[in-house]
Structure 1
Amino acid sequence: MPRTDLSPGERLYLREAVRGMGVLARHFWKNLFGFRDPAPEVMERKGRGVNLVSTINYPEERKEYPPGYRGMHRLVPRLDGKPRCVACYMCATACPAQCIYIEAGEYEEEAIEKYPVRFEIDELRCIVCGFCVEACPKDAIRMDTGTHAPAVLSRPLAVFDKESLLRGPAVEHSTDVLTYRVPLKTPPR
């Protein structure tokens, strides 16, 4: 393909630079003296319209996360308080960031064969893809906490262990009895 020579104006890139400055100036004046949002929820916040480009006043006002938001991980407990996780390693295998570490142990004389002796998630390595949640056959790991990973000062503080992940309401499914070796004794409600 033959190479075309650029004209002096094209080599200086002057026309595009002037066009970009025009866009910049338009946004500047629009934001400075711009339009006000008359929506009722905006009027309730300050009593007057707020600039359309302004955000919410963060520390005083919190924005709700959307329904499909994947927050921090949590391990789901059974009704007896033990984790639903059966240490099958499916979540660790599915994780593209390799941020899940599991050590399995065996229950003695229990209805469930295995459990995680050690379960850790490194939130700094996690890319919040949700593959671990999809891969889990027991619905033992969820990302429905509605919170994001907190800021930490050192890397070890971002590694969450089994005890810190084991929070939230207990869950028991009707299909759970199919995987028990013997009927599970749950505490009365």
Structure 2
Amino acid sequence: MAQPLVGKIQYDRVKGKTVPRPTHTASEQAYFVEVVKGLGLTMRHFFKNTKSMLRGERPDAVKDPLSEGITTLAYPEQKKVYPKRFRGIHRLTLRSDGSPRCVACLCCSTACPAQCIYIEAGEYPEGDARRGYERYPVKFVIDELRCIFCGYCVEACPCDAIRMDTGRHPVPYDSREQFIYGKDMLMSLTSVEGKQVAENPRHEPPDPTHPGIDRLKGAH
């Protein structure tokens, strides 16, 4: 059986405040006026931009992103200029003889939190001055789909062999296999300036006086 109530709640002792419900006009409830305002703003910019285009006064969406005119990029004809420290897709820097600067130390693959770098190291042949203290990458593979573009591989490399200064982002492909970049692909990419040889270690702000690194000169 249900237990009887011990006592009644004293509602008259409960203190509260009545909050009035907001009121809306008929036009606000119908949203008609707001719709007309939105359409008016859209049409105003439409005719303004069309008039500017006919006069040849269309602003450059890349150079004038904050202008009052058209700010839509006509990609791929127009491409936004990335900042200097933009982390694009990877590339392997080259020595003066065209060989990769990578010494297959596995520092980049060890530092990678996404585990997207695979390196297979090889030894130089007999008689080569670099044999015994330096190796070279037989395979160098990066899975751009797994990469999170953190830049740890660039910071961990002791030879400035890998960079992310291409100024490019991964393009869409038809299959996952096409996002796996091999050594030849990484060696073919260039920096924003169109260079493959590493002249500015770490890709720090421009320093034309820096002599760079050349391990071949130090071979013994």
TM-score with structure 1 length normalisation? 0.69
Report deviation, 1:34.
Answer: 4.4
Report deviation, 1:30.
Answer: 3.8
With over 3 angstroms needed to count, the CA separation of the structure-2 counterparts of 1:47 and 1:118, relative to structure 1, is same
Q: Contact between 1:76 and 1:142, CA under 8 Å: does it hold in 2?
A: yes
Aligned AA (2:84): P
With over 3 angstroms needed to count, the CA separation of the structure-2 counterparts of 1:47 and 1:176, relative to structure 1, is same
Distance 1:78 1:24 in 2: 63
Aligned AA (1:161): G
Report deviation, 1:146.
Answer: 1.4
Deviates more, 1:90-99 or 1:26-35: 26-35
Report deviation, 1:81.
Answer: 1.4
Report deviation, 1:91.
Answer: 0.7
Distance 1:176 1:33 in 2: 60
Distance 1:124 1:95 in 2: 14
Deviation readout 1:111-168 (Å, 9 max, x if unpaired): 3320111100011111111111111110000111111112111111110110111133
Identity of aligned pairs, percent?
Answer: 47
Specify the alignment match of 2:141 in structure 1: 120
Structure 2 matches for 1:34-183, cutoff 5 A? Answer: 34=45, 47-48=56-57, 52=69, 54-108=71-125, 109-112=127-130, 113-167=134-188, 168=190, 169-171=196-198, 174-177=212-215, 180-182=218-220
Aligned AA (1:110): D
Question: Number of residue pairs matched?
Answer: 166
Structure whose alpha-carbon radius of gyration is higher: 2
Q: Contact between 1:31 and 1:53, CA under 8 Å: does it hold in 2?
A: no
Provide the alpha-carbon RMSD of the alignment: 3.6
Report deviation, 1:28.
Answer: 6.2
Distance 1:85 1:139 in 2: 8
Report deviation, 1:95.
Answer: 1.1
Aligned AA (2:181): F
Deviates more, 1:114-123 or 1:50-59: 50-59
Q: Contact between 1:120 and 1:159, CA under 8 Å: does it hold in 2?
A: yes
Aligned AA (1:102): I
Aligned AA (2:146): R
Aligned AA (1:134): E
Report deviation, 1:96.
Answer: 1.2
Other structure's SS at 2:145 match: coil
Distance 2:54 2:113 in 1: 42
Q: Which ranges of structure 1 fall in alignment gaps of 5 or more residues?
A: 38-42, 183-189
With over 3 angstroms needed to count, the CA separation of the structure-2 counterparts of 1:152 and 1:33, relative to structure 1, is same
Which is bigger in relative contact order (C-alpha 8 A, separation at least 6)?
1
Other structure's SS at 1:70 match: coil
Report deviation, 1:68.
Answer: 1.7
Report deviation, 1:92.
Answer: 0.7
With over 3 angstroms needed to count, the CA separation of the structure-2 counterparts of 1:81 and 1:25, relative to structure 1, is farther
